[in-house]
Amino acid sequence: MDITKIKNKFKELYGAEGAVYTSPGRINLIGEHTDYNGGFVLPGAIDKAIYCVIKPNGTAKVRAYAPDENPEKVSLNNEFGLEEADKPKDRWAQYIFGVCREMTKKCAKIPGFDIVISGEVPLGAGMSSSAALESCVGFALNDTFNLGFDRFQLALIGQATEHNYVGVKCGIMDQFASCFGKEGSLIRLDCRSLEYEYFPFDPKGYRLVLINTCVAHMLGGEYNERRESCERVVAAIAVKHPKVRFLRDANLDMLKEVSDKVSAVDYIRAEFVIEEIQRLLDTCELLKEGDYEAAGRKMYETHTGLSLKYTVSCPELDFLNEKAKEYGVAGSRVMGGGFGGCTINLVKEDKYDQFIQQTTEAYEKTFNIKPLVYDVVIKDGARKL
């Protein structure tokens, strides 16, 4: 990212120099559909980030500019006040406004400021560009105006922004990874207690790469349907085991006890979640041992479960996963909610070129879609530059 370019743009627009902040996108190595089941996730911040230049402007308004936005679709310049009635119409500006409002609700005093935002987190690729934006703005405001929020509070502010000003009822993982990212480490986040622990991730001789199917089959009610499946199973198990509040609290023996009380579909979905939670814990131990081949096999197990048990894959994702196996990739799986998006792949360097070239060519020939490839490296979270 050319920081000089956005610094110069800021000076051109506002006649002064501002401070520069950044916050990254994220990947999740393993642990899908475990968050709303009280389980664990294993994200890491990446080397693709959102950047902003900011400076107080002595008024009660925000002047914002986003040079990456398409001027045919959205107004690049945006000026708005900081009261609830001042919510801007442009979606990208709503993230800035929402962060300000959520901070104000927590008794922070935020005067007017000028801000220029740019980034390199691909939109719609499952790397959480929105959480990176919220975390970048939140960290910048917190530091600029000495608001006193800690990183955990900033993550919650970003999540509340999504809920209340963007209309997305997301979990905490994306904002947490963006705020707490640490170079060379993944974060095991307990989605029930919000406790976290760093695990080493420095796979020398391997590369971490995402391949974007460039398809997005609409999830619609499918996500809610799976969540309801899990809740029905928890309710059945809790009749005999009242301490079970999430599938994270259950085990496979408890699940077997209710096999005649839940549908076959609910049963197999719950089975995947219970297995996935344990698979993530096992993967953390493998990372401590530096056994990336075994960790990669866990990724394949996750993909199989997501495809056959939780049924959130699609032909395009399964195709990429099969190609990864064919070319000897250590680990590969669908990353995110499913029904499109990316596969995340752990690839030995000596297999990388052949895998990428032949897989992308075969994918384009099969689906008439050119996939996008993103190499990622685990980096630090939100910070001032």
> Looking at the DSSP assignment, which residues form a beta bridge with residue 119?
50
222 by DSSP, 3-state: which?
Answer: helix
Rounded to an integer, what distance in angstroms lies between the CA atom of residue 66 and that of residue 64? 7
Instruction: Please name the residue that has the structure tokens 């996008």.
Output: 372
Residue tagged active-site, from 35, 90, 174, 249: 174
Helices (H), 56-128: 91-105
Q: Which two tokens stand for residue 102?
A: 């959520």
Write phi, then psi, for 27 (nearest 5 degrees): -120, 170
Q: Do residues 114 and 63 make contact, with C-beta atoms less than 8 angstroms apart? A: yes
Instruction: Please name the residue that has the structure tokens 């209710």.
Output: 258
Q: Do residues 182 and 381 make contact, with C-beta atoms less than 8 angstroms apart? A: yes
Rounded to an integer, what distance in angstroms lies between the CA atom of residue 267 and that of residue 256? 9
Nearest to 209 by CA among 52, 112, 335: 335
Region of residue 110 (phi > 0: left; psi between -120 and 50: alpha; otherwise: beta): beta
Pairing of strands 113-119, 61-65: parallel
174 classed as catalytic = yes
Rounded to an integer, what distance in angstroms lies between the CA atom of residue 78 and that of residue 116? 10
What amino acid positions are annotated as catalytic residues? 174
